Each structure stands twice: as structure tokens, then as C-alpha cells.
Amino acid sequence: MRKYRYTPSWQAKRKSWLRNTLLIVVIALPLLVLMAELIARGAVLATGGVNQLTPNKTIAIAQSYAFRLQDSNGNNYPGLPDAGKLRVRRSPLLGYELLPDQNSEFWQVNAQGFRQDSAVPLDKPANEIRVFLMGGSTAFTNMAEQNQKALAFKIEKLLNDRVRAQNSNPERFKPKETPYFADQIESMQALPPRIRDGSYRVIAAAVPGYASGNELALLAHRVMAYSPNALVVLDGYEDMRSPSNQVAKEIGNIDQLLRDPIAQYRQHQGQQFSNWLNSLYLVKAWQKWVAPASVTTFSSDYQVFSADQLSKDANESQARLNRYLVNVQQMAKLANNIPMILVLQPEITGKLKSLTTDEENILQALGNDYRDRAIASYQLANQSLNGKLGATKFLNFYQLFQDSKQQAFIDPIHLTEVANDLVAKRLYDNLEQLFLVQPAPNPLNPEAVPPQRPLS
């Protein structure tokens, strides 16, 4: 005989209530989100359009400098961040490189991948004097609002202003030829010397995130073809935080994704969902007015700063700097007789005596461990490089801003415009020494001042 199993009525009602409630939530929640999105869109359009939801200027600049890794056909890699504007691609020679002919509201990259407004011809004009500025994001001048506010352009303007000044007011500078009379020679000695006449062009060949291994390859495979008259290499930080077994910096986790296609698919789906979510007016309004996005939201891999990147092991730190020294020495050999200036870039822990409130907040977020490792790394870098570069001039800008009461740092290594002005002036002062031209000897008194040949 079949037995029936009965469920008490109160249990049946409870299950039915839970089922109906869940069903209502599943149906109602998307409808509520849809209604809220429609209301948000209507409110935004009614009060001035979508432009009011655009990020603030600082966030927009940060987003424009963040990387977007693409393949050789210009396609984004599935699963990798694609919010950045600065397009890069992998390179078998350079590790990675900037894609040519790209621009944003805040920067422009020319056909050679240099941060320039126009192409640089291989054949150098007869009166052009070329200075190449190499390095990472500090030399590239991340966060500058336009090319004309980047370091290379500031240095170029200072050099060309000097040429115009000595040509329009020659009496304020040493003459081209040594005077004959002794009193005139004595008066001449008090005047500043002239620099070589010509049209100076400072070319920003820096690439954000580059370490010395990338720069060595860039010099060999690209820069030397453009006949530089001088080289300025502003770097050091990336070498300090790159493992000693890493020959050069690379970008993206493509190898890892290829090893695990399931993880790649999940990451791609997550990226697609994130892009869709960020397209909602509700999310844009939240990020604009309730919880504004930070600059680091749009950072690339190379722009993530943490204490773990700077080794606490003295042997590992020394190995990283030994690699740096060898690469710089190889760059100097490759440059041959072309004068080169190596500059150890500024960093926020070199300004501990005069931090502004914003800089104190940056340093506090980094933590004491970062501060201690950064200080130790820079001390070791100075010991490892100073006096070991032969004819290459070495400048240590680590503490360049230690007495400045103005804000110099936007993050640990990127600078405000005022700070970039000072860096440009210091680099100009040192470049000026490379291009000084002494007065030619007077044919009637050739022994008055020994002649000195200008740089080629």
C-alpha cells in the first residue's frame, strides 16, 4: 500500500513565501537599476549634458598617461586593462615601445615614437644641434598638461633663448674673437661665454616605465641613427625596483594568460563587465560626486608604488645597481665621443625636510618601510655610480627639492610643473657647459686666449 508523505501547511507556506520573495527580488532588482539609470540619464541631460560627468582634470590626465597594451594590428588584448590612452606594444628589441603617431589632449607622440609635435628627419639640418632626453616616466614628464610643458621642450626653449640673447645683445657675452688690447681682454673675462650658435632641438626619447636595459636598446636601435650631439639620461628608479635577473622591463601578463586560457577568459569577462558597469550614468555620477576616482585608478603596472618593489636585501639591491652601472657604461661606449649626462632622478624621500601636506599624505600612504628602503637604495646608488662613469657626467637629483617649500611631487617620482621647471633649468645649466665656445684668437695677438674648438 502506497504511503503519502504530508508536509505541514506552515512549512509549505514558508517555502512558497521564500520562493516568491526570491523571484520578486530577481525580477525587481534589474528593473530598479534600469529605472534609476533612466532617471539619472534624464537628470543629467536636463541639467547640462554628459560633459558634467567627465572626470576632473587631474584624473583625466592620469588616464591619458596610463598604458593601453595593443598587438601589432592595434587590437587590445582580451582581459588586460583598456582604460588608458597611451598605446604601447611589445617589442622584441626594446621590451615594449610607444605606438607611433598618437595623441591625446595632453600629449603627442610622433612617427618615431618620440614625444614630439613633428617628425625628426634622419638627415640632420646643418645648423641643428640635437640633444636626446632619455629615461622613464619622469623624463617623459608624466602628468604634464601638454608637450610644451614637458621637460624636453622646457630645456629646448632655454637653449634657444640663450642663442637669441647672445645674437641680439652680443655686448653682454664674450665676443666671437679675442680683443687685441689688454684692458678689453680683462673686461671680456667678466662676461658669460657664448654657446654654440645653431637651432637646438631637444628630443624626448623617454618612455614611461623604461629601465636602463630598455634605454640601452633604444639608444642602439633608434636614437643613434638621428645623429645626437648630446645625450641626457634621467632615470634610476626603475632599476632600483626591478629584480636583478630582469634584463629589461616588459609589460603585460600575456605569457601568464596564454598558460591559463580559462583564467584569461574569466579576466576578459570581468573586464567586459567592468567596462559596462563604468558606462552607467549611475556609476559615473557616483564616481564624480560621491566617491571620486583617484589618480591611481588609472595607473599602469609600472606606476604602482610599494615597498615590496624596493629590495630590503643589500646584496639584491647592489646587484640591481651593478646592472644599472654596466648598462650606463655600455651606453657611454656606444655614444663614443658624444657627450652624455647621467642624472639620478628625484624621488619624494629626498624631500623629507620640507614636505607639503599633499606630499606628507603621499609618503604616509607609502609607509615607513617604503621610505626606509628608498633612502637606502638611493644612498647605495650614489655610492655605486659616483666616480665610476669615466667621461660621463653624473648628477644626483635625489635631494634636488629638499629645501623647497612648494609641492614638487604628485606621487613618488612624478613632478609638478614648478618642479619640472627647476629640473629643466639644472639640466640646461649642465648642457650649457657642453656647448660653450671660447673666443677665437685674435690674428694680431694669437697668444692672448688659447683657442678652444667647439663640440662637433
Q: What is the mean pLDDT of residues 4-10?
A: 56
What is the rounded distance in angstroms from the CA atom of residue 46 to the CA atom of residue 44? 5
Same-domain pairing of 177 and 326 = yes
- 389 lies in the same domain as 291: no
Residue 173 lies in a domain: yes
The residue out of 280, 299, 318 marking a domain boundary is 299
| DSSP bridge partners of 342 | 233, 394
Residues 43 and 161 reside in one and the same domain: no
Total domains in the chain come to 2
Q: At what angle do helices 417-434 and 151-168 cross, to 10 degrees?
A: 50
Question: How do residues 366-375 score in pLDDT, each as one tens digit?
Answer: 999 999 999 9
Domain extent for 212: 110-251+303-437
Q: For residues 176 and 242, state if they share a domain.
A: yes
Average pLDDT (286-313) is 68
Query: Can you tell me the distance from the alpha carbon of 230 to that of 327, in angstroms, rounded to the nearest whole number?
Result: 18
Q: For residue 138, what pLDDT band results from cuts at 50, 70 and 90?
A: very high
Question: Residue 305: its pLDDT value, please?
Answer: 92
Which CATH number do you get for residue 135?
A: 3.40.50.1110
Q: Where do we find the cell 532588482? A: 29
- Beta strands 67-70 and 230-235, pairing class: unpaired
pLDDT tens digits, 415-454: 999 999 999 999 999 999 999 998 887 676 665 554 444 4
Residues 309 and 189 in one domain: yes
The DSSP element (H or E) to which 90 belongs, if any, is: strand 86-91
Asked if the structure places residue 186 within a domain, the reply is: yes
In a domain, 311, yes or no: yes
More confident residue, 347 or 288: 347
Res 452: pLDDT? 47
Q: Name the β-bridge partners of 115.
A: 204
Q: How confident is the model at residue 48 (pLDDT cuts 50, 70, 90)?
A: low
Examine the domain organization and report whether 360 and 221 are in the same domain: yes
Q: Is residue 9 in a domain?
A: no
Same domain, 429 and 318: yes
Residues 244 and 380 in one domain: yes
Statement to judge: residues 139 and 287 lie in one domain: no
452 in a structural domain: no
According to DSSP, the residues that pair with 195 across neighbouring strands are 436
Domain co-membership, 362 together with 336: yes
Q: What is the mean pLDDT of the chain?
A: 84
Question: Does 365 fall in a domain?
Answer: yes
Instruction: Please report whether residue 71 resides in a domain.
Output: yes
pLDDT of residue 72: 79
Q: What is the mean pLDDT of residues 16-20?
A: 71
Q: Give domain status of residue 4, yes or no.
A: no
Q: Both 68 and 212 in a single domain?
A: no
Q: Is 320 within 8 Å of 380 (Cβ atoms)?
A: no
Q: What is the pLDDT of residues 372-395, one digit of tens each?
A: 999 999 999 999 999 999 999 999
409 and 368 co-located in one domain:
yes
- What the block records as the C-alpha cell of 410 is 604628485
Looking at 299, 318, 336, the residue that finishes a domain is 299
